[in-house]
Homo-oligomer: A and B are copies of this chain.
Amino acid sequence: MKDGMTIGDAAKASGVNAKLIRYYESIGLIPEAGRTASGYRVYDDREVNVLRFVKRARTLGFGIERIQKLVGLWQDRSRCSSEVKRIALQHIDELEAKIAELQAMRDTLHELADACHGDERPDCPILKDLAS
* A interface residues (Cβ-Cβ under 8 A, vs B): 49, 52-53, 56-57, 59-61, 70, 73-74, 76-82, 84-86, 88-89, 91-92, 95-96, 98-99, 102-103, 105-106, 108-110, 112-113, 116-124, 126-127, 129-132
Q: How far is the CA of A60 from the CA of B81 in the complex (A)?
A: 39
B-side contacts of A79, CB under 8 Å: 122, 124
Q: How far is the CA of A70 from the CA of B98 in the complex (A)?
A: 25
Q: Which of B85, B92, B102 contacts A106 (CB 8 A)?
A: B92
Q: Which of B61, B106, B132 contacts A56 (CB 8 A)?
A: B132
A124 touching B84 by the CB < 8 A rule? yes
Q: How far is the CA of A124 from the CA of B92 in the complex (A)?
A: 17
Q: How far is the CA of A20 from the CA of B85 in the complex (A)?
A: 39
Most chain B beta-carbon contacts within 10 A, residue among A77, A96, A130:
A130
B130 touching A81 by the CB < 8 A rule? no
